[in-house]
Amino acid sequence: MDEEDTTGANKCPVCGSDPRTHPGLRFKINTKCYHRICEGCVDRHFSSGKAECPVGGCHVSLWKREWRTQTFEDLKIEREIEIRKRVNKILDRREDEFETKRDYDDFLELREELIMNLVFRTDVAATNRKLKEYAQANGIKTDPTEATSEPGVKAVKKKDVAPDAADPSGLIKGLKKIVLAKAKAPYDPFMGMPRTKDYYQVDDKYVSKVRGKPADAMLAGGYDFAEYMDECLLRAFAGLGVFIEDEMSTRDNTAIPIPGAA
Protein backbone atom coordinates (compact mmCIF):
# COMPACT_ATOMS: atom_id res chain seq x y z
CA MET A 1 0.00 0.00 0.00
CA ASP A 2 1.46 3.34 -1.08
CA GLU A 3 2.02 6.14 1.39
CA GLU A 4 -0.37 8.47 -0.45
CA ASP A 5 -3.13 5.92 -0.02
CA THR A 6 -2.74 6.00 3.77
CA THR A 7 -2.74 9.77 4.14
CA GLY A 8 -6.33 10.21 3.00
CA ALA A 9 -5.57 11.95 -0.33
CA ASN A 10 -8.52 13.94 -1.61
CA LYS A 11 -8.33 12.78 -5.22
CA CYS A 12 -9.60 9.43 -6.42
CA PRO A 13 -6.55 7.45 -7.64
CA VAL A 14 -8.61 5.87 -10.45
CA CYS A 15 -10.62 8.66 -12.08
CA GLY A 16 -8.89 11.67 -10.51
CA SER A 17 -12.13 13.16 -9.14
CA ASP A 18 -11.62 15.85 -6.51
CA PRO A 19 -14.18 16.90 -3.86
CA ARG A 20 -13.35 20.52 -4.64
CA THR A 21 -14.58 20.14 -8.22
CA HIS A 22 -17.18 17.44 -7.47
CA PRO A 23 -19.17 18.48 -4.38
CA GLY A 24 -20.67 15.54 -2.52
CA LEU A 25 -17.99 13.13 -3.73
CA ARG A 26 -17.69 10.20 -1.33
CA PHE A 27 -14.92 7.64 -1.01
CA LYS A 28 -14.95 3.97 -0.04
CA ILE A 29 -12.26 1.57 1.12
CA ASN A 30 -11.93 -2.21 1.37
CA THR A 31 -10.38 -4.31 4.12
CA LYS A 32 -8.02 -6.30 1.90
CA CYS A 33 -5.73 -3.87 0.11
CA TYR A 34 -7.12 -0.72 1.82
CA HIS A 35 -7.13 1.36 -1.33
CA ARG A 36 -9.48 4.33 -1.31
CA ILE A 37 -11.55 5.14 -4.40
CA CYS A 38 -14.74 7.08 -5.07
CA GLU A 39 -18.22 5.53 -5.10
CA GLY A 40 -18.53 6.04 -8.86
CA CYS A 41 -15.47 3.91 -9.54
CA VAL A 42 -16.76 1.22 -7.19
CA ASP A 43 -20.06 1.08 -9.11
CA ARG A 44 -18.37 1.03 -12.52
CA HIS A 45 -15.85 -1.70 -11.74
CA PHE A 46 -17.75 -4.02 -9.38
CA SER A 47 -21.45 -3.83 -10.30
CA SER A 48 -21.16 -6.80 -12.68
CA GLY A 49 -19.39 -9.08 -10.20
CA LYS A 50 -15.99 -9.80 -8.72
CA ALA A 51 -13.09 -7.81 -10.18
CA GLU A 52 -9.56 -6.68 -9.42
CA CYS A 53 -8.89 -3.49 -7.51
CA PRO A 54 -8.70 -0.70 -10.14
CA VAL A 55 -5.79 1.06 -8.43
CA GLY A 56 -2.68 0.70 -10.56
CA GLY A 57 -0.43 -2.21 -9.59
CA CYS A 58 -3.00 -3.82 -7.28
CA HIS A 59 -4.35 -7.21 -8.34
CA VAL A 60 -6.49 -8.08 -5.32
CA SER A 61 -9.85 -9.57 -6.32
CA LEU A 62 -12.81 -7.94 -4.60
CA TRP A 63 -16.59 -7.97 -4.48
CA LYS A 64 -18.64 -4.80 -4.40
CA ARG A 65 -19.92 -5.65 -0.92
CA GLU A 66 -16.34 -5.54 0.39
CA TRP A 67 -16.17 -1.79 -0.16
CA ARG A 68 -17.44 0.35 2.69
CA THR A 69 -17.38 3.90 3.95
CA GLN A 70 -14.19 4.95 5.68
CA THR A 71 -14.54 5.47 9.45
CA PHE A 72 -11.17 6.96 10.43
CA GLU A 73 -9.26 9.60 8.52
CA ASP A 74 -5.99 7.69 8.89
CA LEU A 75 -6.16 4.40 6.95
CA LYS A 76 -3.46 2.90 9.16
CA ILE A 77 -5.79 3.21 12.13
CA GLU A 78 -8.65 1.85 10.03
CA ARG A 79 -6.64 -1.22 9.12
CA GLU A 80 -5.46 -1.88 12.68
CA ILE A 81 -9.02 -1.67 14.02
CA GLU A 82 -10.22 -4.21 11.46
CA ILE A 83 -7.37 -6.58 12.33
CA ARG A 84 -8.12 -6.29 16.04
CA LYS A 85 -11.80 -7.06 15.43
CA ARG A 86 -10.96 -10.19 13.45
CA VAL A 87 -8.36 -11.55 15.89
CA ASN A 88 -10.46 -10.77 18.98
CA LYS A 89 -13.43 -12.53 17.39
CA ILE A 90 -11.36 -15.71 17.04
CA LEU A 91 -9.32 -15.50 20.27
CA ASP A 92 -12.27 -14.65 22.50
CA ARG A 93 -11.35 -15.90 25.99
CA ARG A 94 -12.29 -14.70 29.48
CA GLU A 95 -10.12 -14.59 32.58
CA ASP A 96 -12.25 -17.18 34.41
CA GLU A 97 -11.40 -19.75 31.71
CA PHE A 98 -7.74 -19.87 32.81
CA GLU A 99 -6.10 -21.68 35.69
CA THR A 100 -4.21 -18.64 36.98
CA LYS A 101 -3.97 -14.90 36.42
CA ARG A 102 -0.51 -15.42 34.93
CA ASP A 103 -1.94 -17.76 32.30
CA TYR A 104 -4.51 -15.13 31.33
CA ASP A 105 -1.80 -12.45 31.09
CA ASP A 106 0.24 -14.74 28.84
CA PHE A 107 -2.83 -15.18 26.63
CA LEU A 108 -3.31 -11.41 26.33
CA GLU A 109 0.35 -11.02 25.40
CA LEU A 110 0.05 -13.76 22.77
CA ARG A 111 -3.05 -12.17 21.25
CA GLU A 112 -1.39 -8.77 21.08
CA GLU A 113 1.68 -10.31 19.46
CA LEU A 114 -0.46 -11.90 16.74
CA ILE A 115 -2.25 -8.60 16.14
CA MET A 116 1.02 -6.71 15.81
CA ASN A 117 2.35 -9.32 13.38
CA LEU A 118 -0.59 -8.61 11.08
CA VAL A 119 -0.45 -4.84 11.58
CA PHE A 120 3.26 -4.57 10.73
CA ARG A 121 3.16 -7.45 8.20
CA THR A 122 5.56 -9.67 10.14
CA ASP A 123 5.16 -13.43 9.58
CA VAL A 124 1.69 -12.83 8.14
CA ALA A 125 1.34 -16.31 6.64
CA ALA A 126 2.40 -18.07 9.86
CA THR A 127 0.14 -15.86 11.97
CA ASN A 128 -2.89 -16.46 9.75
CA ARG A 129 -2.15 -20.19 9.80
CA LYS A 130 -2.15 -20.23 13.62
CA LEU A 131 -5.45 -18.37 13.75
CA LYS A 132 -6.99 -20.68 11.18
CA GLU A 133 -5.84 -23.84 12.97
CA TYR A 134 -7.13 -22.50 16.29
CA ALA A 135 -10.52 -21.65 14.78
CA GLN A 136 -10.85 -25.06 13.14
CA ALA A 137 -9.79 -26.97 16.26
CA ASN A 138 -12.22 -25.07 18.48
CA GLY A 139 -15.18 -25.19 16.11
CA ILE A 140 -15.25 -21.44 15.43
CA LYS A 141 -17.19 -20.70 12.28
CA THR A 142 -16.65 -17.45 10.43
CA ASP A 143 -18.92 -15.90 7.86
CA PRO A 144 -17.65 -16.90 4.38
CA THR A 145 -18.80 -13.54 3.00
CA GLU A 146 -16.98 -11.54 5.67
CA ALA A 147 -14.04 -9.50 4.44
CA THR A 148 -10.70 -10.37 6.03
CA SER A 149 -7.91 -8.02 6.92
CA GLU A 150 -5.29 -9.76 4.81
CA PRO A 151 -5.50 -11.23 1.30
CA GLY A 152 -5.39 -14.98 0.90
CA VAL A 153 -7.14 -15.79 4.19
CA LYS A 154 -9.92 -18.30 3.62
CA ALA A 155 -13.03 -18.63 5.74
CA VAL A 156 -12.89 -21.23 8.49
CA LYS A 157 -15.34 -24.11 8.43
CA LYS A 158 -16.67 -25.68 11.59
CA LYS A 159 -15.63 -29.22 12.44
CA ASP A 160 -16.24 -31.65 15.27
CA VAL A 161 -14.42 -30.81 18.50
CA ALA A 162 -13.98 -32.87 21.65
CA PRO A 163 -16.48 -31.35 24.12
CA ASP A 164 -14.07 -31.54 27.10
CA ALA A 165 -11.00 -30.16 25.31
CA ALA A 166 -9.71 -26.77 26.50
CA ASP A 167 -7.81 -25.92 23.29
CA PRO A 168 -7.16 -28.83 20.91
CA SER A 169 -4.90 -26.67 18.73
CA GLY A 170 -2.42 -26.09 21.57
CA LEU A 171 -2.08 -22.38 20.80
CA ILE A 172 -3.38 -21.15 24.16
CA LYS A 173 -1.86 -22.54 27.35
CA GLY A 174 -3.25 -22.66 30.88
CA LEU A 175 -6.94 -23.13 30.04
CA LYS A 176 -9.12 -25.00 32.48
CA LYS A 177 -10.35 -28.36 31.29
CA ILE A 178 -14.04 -28.34 30.57
CA VAL A 179 -15.98 -30.50 33.03
CA LEU A 180 -19.10 -31.85 31.38
CA ALA A 181 -22.20 -32.30 33.49
CA LYS A 182 -23.57 -35.82 33.63
CA ALA A 183 -26.57 -36.33 31.44
CA LYS A 184 -29.76 -36.78 33.42
CA ALA A 185 -31.73 -39.96 32.88
CA PRO A 186 -35.10 -39.45 31.20
CA TYR A 187 -38.07 -39.16 33.53
CA ASP A 188 -39.66 -42.53 34.28
CA PRO A 189 -43.20 -42.26 35.69
CA PHE A 190 -43.10 -45.98 36.60
CA MET A 191 -40.09 -45.46 38.93
CA GLY A 192 -38.20 -48.36 37.38
CA MET A 193 -41.02 -50.87 37.72
CA PRO A 194 -41.34 -53.41 34.89
CA ARG A 195 -43.86 -52.41 32.26
CA THR A 196 -44.26 -55.79 30.61
CA LYS A 197 -47.81 -57.14 30.53
CA ASP A 198 -46.96 -60.84 30.60
CA TYR A 199 -49.63 -61.73 33.16
CA TYR A 200 -52.54 -61.46 30.72
CA GLN A 201 -53.20 -61.58 27.01
CA VAL A 202 -55.95 -59.96 24.98
CA ASP A 203 -57.82 -62.59 22.99
CA ASP A 204 -59.72 -61.79 19.82
CA LYS A 205 -62.83 -63.48 21.18
CA TYR A 206 -62.97 -60.93 24.01
CA VAL A 207 -63.14 -58.17 21.48
CA SER A 208 -65.75 -59.99 19.41
CA LYS A 209 -68.02 -60.33 22.45
CA VAL A 210 -67.79 -56.64 23.15
CA ARG A 211 -68.56 -55.86 19.55
CA GLY A 212 -71.82 -57.78 19.87
CA LYS A 213 -73.22 -55.29 22.38
CA PRO A 214 -71.58 -51.94 21.69
CA ALA A 215 -72.14 -49.12 24.12
CA ASP A 216 -72.60 -45.52 23.06
CA ALA A 217 -68.97 -44.72 23.95
CA MET A 218 -67.74 -47.53 21.72
CA LEU A 219 -69.44 -45.99 18.72
CA ALA A 220 -67.50 -42.74 19.06
CA GLY A 221 -64.93 -41.94 16.40
CA GLY A 222 -61.41 -43.12 17.19
CA TYR A 223 -62.52 -45.73 19.73
CA ASP A 224 -60.47 -48.93 19.67
CA PHE A 225 -61.92 -52.16 21.10
CA ALA A 226 -58.51 -53.76 21.57
CA GLU A 227 -57.26 -50.82 23.64
CA TYR A 228 -60.44 -50.92 25.71
CA MET A 229 -59.97 -54.60 26.54
CA ASP A 230 -56.28 -54.08 27.23
CA GLU A 231 -57.07 -51.34 29.76
CA CYS A 232 -59.75 -53.45 31.45
CA LEU A 233 -57.44 -56.44 31.84
CA LEU A 234 -54.62 -54.23 33.10
CA ARG A 235 -56.84 -52.83 35.83
CA ALA A 236 -58.08 -56.30 36.73
CA PHE A 237 -54.76 -58.12 36.90
CA ALA A 238 -52.22 -55.41 37.73
CA GLY A 239 -52.53 -56.19 41.45
CA LEU A 240 -51.84 -59.92 41.15
CA GLY A 241 -48.86 -61.01 43.19
CA VAL A 242 -49.23 -58.14 45.65
CA PHE A 243 -50.10 -59.34 49.14
CA ILE A 244 -50.85 -56.62 51.63
CA GLU A 245 -50.19 -58.75 54.70
CA ASP A 246 -46.71 -59.73 53.52
CA GLU A 247 -45.86 -56.13 52.75
CA MET A 248 -47.05 -54.96 56.15
CA SER A 249 -45.02 -57.61 57.98
CA THR A 250 -41.94 -56.72 55.98
CA ARG A 251 -42.46 -53.06 56.78
CA ASP A 252 -42.83 -53.77 60.49
CA ASN A 253 -39.71 -55.95 60.60
CA THR A 254 -37.54 -53.36 58.88
CA ALA A 255 -38.82 -50.38 60.82
CA ILE A 256 -36.14 -48.23 62.44
CA PRO A 257 -36.34 -48.54 66.24
CA ILE A 258 -37.09 -45.34 68.11
CA PRO A 259 -34.58 -44.55 70.89
CA GLY A 260 -36.14 -44.87 74.33
CA ALA A 261 -39.12 -46.87 73.07
CA ALA A 262 -40.08 -49.96 75.08
Instruction: Identify the segments of the chain with pLDDT beneath 70.
Output: 1-9, 142-165, 189-200, 202, 204-223, 225, 237-262
Break the chain into its structural domains and give their ranges: 3-70, 73-183, 194-236
Under 8 Å between Cβ of 167 and 175: yes
Q: How many Å separate Cα 36 from the centre of its chain?
A: 35
Across 174-205, b (16+ Cβ under 10 Å) vs e yields: bbeeeeeeeeeeeeeeeeeeeeeeeeeebeee
Which residue, among 89, 71, 87, 85, has the nearest Cα to 34 in the 3D structure?
Answer: 71
Per-residue confidence (pLDDT) for residue 233, from 0 to 100: 73
Across 216-230, b (16+ Cβ under 10 Å) vs e yields: eeeeeeeeebeebbb
pTM (predicted TM-score): 0.56
Per-residue confidence (pLDDT) for residue 90, from 0 to 100: 93
Per-residue confidence (pLDDT) for residue 1, from 0 to 100: 44
Per-residue confidence (pLDDT) for residue 24, from 0 to 100: 86
Cα separation, 38 vs 11, in Å, equals 9
Per-residue confidence (pLDDT) for residue 32, from 0 to 100: 86
Mapped onto helix, strand or coil, the DSSP state of residue 123 is: coil
Which residue, among 155, 149, 173, has the nearest Cα to 93 in the 3D structure?
Answer: 173
Range 3-70: architecture per CATH:
2-Layer Sandwich (3.30)
